[in-house]
Amino acid sequence: MALFRARVALALLVTVLHAQAFVVPRAGQRVVLRPWAAKVVDVSLPKPLGIALEELQPGKPAGVRVQEVREGGSAIKSGDVLPGMVLVSLNGIDCTTKDFDTIMDMLIGATDSQPIQLSFSLEVDDEQIPQPIKTGPCELHVLLPKGETMVLKARNGDNLRKVLMAGKVSIYEGLAVMTNCNGAGQCGTCVTKVVGQGWSPRSDYEANKLKGRPQSHRLACQTLVEGDAVITVRPAKNDS
């Protein structure tokens, strides 16, 4: 393990020297790579990142790669993070030998008041670029537990939980009203059913939290609005 970490550190050092400079980027600052430059991309991004991650080796502490760069997050706006990139470090902590859950806990635990410092290894084609960001307003038809329906105005890229909370929708029930994690993604109690075209599939983290539930069930705090949709609040576990 020590030898592996040493090799990673050496590889990063060689990369930095080859690029001739290593500067911690400011929030939202783009890192421009010359054709001969580093195989590591360093970015500084505020939450929400809008990055879906997946394990490099399922069930093993072998790091994660970017599965998808989602609309509405800071990553796609920066233009520097691409699907296929491997996460090397997070706020200076090596991620290449950590498992998926540990890395997710690190991301969730990172403060919202400062950008997150991320390093990725570049393992994608130079021509590969993120999809254009959806913009503009949309409508969410919200089905409430007692059968009522309400329509909320939103914009593409909005956080679903924040939209529902702003609309005075009761997302939680029982003890979760007082004990929920306030949108950090840890408690798994803001379950909603989303039916709409063009919405991104749930991340591996959501899938793990929502085991046994249909694919249409999402964690509102981890979901970005991506067009008109019908939202069911607190759906039954088998409501597909």
pLDDT at 57 over 90: no
**Torsions phi, psi of 104, nearest 5?**
-65, -40
DSSP bridge partners of 141: 151, 230
State whether 164 and 103 are in the same domain: no
The domain that contains 151 carries what CATH number?
Answer: 3.10.20.30
Q: Is residue 238 part of a domain?
A: no
Tell me: the pLDDT tens digits for 71-103? 889 999 888 898 889 999 999 898 988 999 999
Average the pLDDT over 29-33 and give the result: 36
Average the pLDDT over 213-220 and give the result: 95
Average the pLDDT over 54-61 and give the result: 86
Prediction pTM value: 0.50
Domain that includes residue 56, residue range: 2-121
Q: Is residue 214 part of a domain?
A: yes
Q: How confident is the model at residue 59 (pLDDT cuts 50, 70, 90)?
A: confident
State whether 197 and 108 are in the same domain: no
State whether 106 and 209 are in the same domain: no
Q: Is residue 20 part of a domain?
A: yes
Detail the DSSP E strand segments found in the chain. 40-45, 51-55, 64-69, 86-90, 93-94, 116-121, 137-143, 149-155, 191-195, 217-219, 229-233
For the chain, what is the domain count? Answer: 2
Tell me: the pLDDT tens digits for 187-201? 999 999 999 988 988
State whether 84 and 175 are in the same domain: no
Tell me: the pLDDT tens digits for 102-145? 999 999 999 888 999 999 987 544 444 444 556 689 999 999 98
